[in-house]
Amino acid sequence: MRWEGRRQSQNVEDRRSAGQQALVGGGLLTLVIMVVMMFLGVDPMKLMQVAPELAGGPGPQARQGKPVDDEMGRFIKTVLADNEDVWTRVFPAAFGKRFVPTRLVMFTGRVQSGCGVADAGAGPFYCPLDKTVYIDPVFYSELKRRFGAPGDFAQAYVIAHEIGHHIQNQLGISGQVQSQRQRLSERAYNQLSVRMELQADYLAGVWARHMAQYAGILDEEDIREAVNAAAAIGDDRIQKQAQGYVVPDAFTHGSSEQRVRWFLYGLKTEDPGTILRRMDEAFERDQP
């Protein structure tokens, strides 16, 4: 991915030099968060059902720290700017609304978000309450070392997936899914969660198409990196690695095959004005 020398987003807050944040709310809240949060793309609205005290909004002002001027920070700012540029063009044509950019917070160890305190072990996540993406860049080392998914576009895919959740929040999809929480069984709600995550993968693919076709900064190797990353963080692969067996009813993000398929489906979408309709139709038959 040719990212150097291009625009960097101003919507990035760097808290890395502040170190690990002091936990707010005590050990029980921490335990709840650590148990419930899933790797990559946590569902904060579901967390609120487990720990309602999180719904009260952000806690005390987090220590800001001094921004770190390094290659990783510049990379993340550039990728966020790329997402802003693409969705500022695509969003009005596709959905008839103005795209409102999200913020992104880089942190180290733990962070206070609008959805509560999060540990870096949960992976990158989007909080709909403060409309912010949170990421500890150390996650990328784990993506490479533990999951065998190296490459700068693998890293960019992770950010684009979280921006997909921001788009869902703007469209009211997140709220619609959350409204079903008390009406459905855990298994049925997990299926809705999987649909949300695959939709975010789809939107990441739409973004990748525009970066390849119009910005001209991607090649086939970049796409392979993103596909590899999507496959590496499928629920089946993570469960197999963690516990030695797979429980499909417990999936919350989708299998490796599903995540790859939906990213590639987004990559094939040509007309931005049909994005929402195509998503709905394709989800109904669960295949491109």
Query: Residue ranges of the domains in the chain?
Result: 12-285
Q: What is the pLDDT of residue 205?
A: 95
Of 9-13, 28-32, 93-97, 198-202, the poorest mean pLDDT is in: 28-32
Closest to 124 (Cα-Cα) out of 154, 148, 101 = 154
Closest to 51 (Cα-Cα) out of 31, 76, 73 = 31
Banded pLDDT at 50 (limits 50, 70, 90):
very low
Measure the CA–CA gap between 248 and 239, rounded to whole angstroms.
9
Q: What is the pLDDT of residue 211?
A: 92
Banded pLDDT at 118 (limits 50, 70, 90):
confident
Bridge partners of 132, per DSSP, are: 103, 127
pTM value is 0.81
pLDDT above 80: residue 20:
no
Closest to 36 (Cα-Cα) out of 95, 116, 142 = 116
Measure the CA–CA gap between 252 and 264, rounded to whole angstroms.
20
pLDDT above 90: residue 73:
yes
Q: How many CB atoms lie within 10 A of CB 31?
A: 11
Q: Are 264 and 275 in contact (CB under 8 A)?
A: no
Q: What is the pLDDT of residue 66?
A: 64
Banded pLDDT at 159 (limits 50, 70, 90):
very high
Banded pLDDT at 67 (limits 50, 70, 90):
low
What's the chain's average pLDDT?
Answer: 81
Measure the CA–CA gap between 90 and 97, rounded to whole angstroms.
10
Strands 116-119 and 12-14: unpaired
With a CB cutoff of 8 Å and minimum separation 6, the contacts of 197 are 41, 252, 253, 254, 259
Percent of the chain exceeding pLDDT 90 equals 43
Q: What is the pLDDT of residue 6?
A: 86
Q: Convert the pLDDT of each residue in 131-146 to its tens digit.
A: 999 999 999 998 898 8
Question: Could you tell me which residue, 96 or 178, shows the higher pLDDT?
Answer: 96
CA angle 190, 193, 199 (to 5 degrees): 145
Q: What is the pLDDT of residue 65?
A: 55
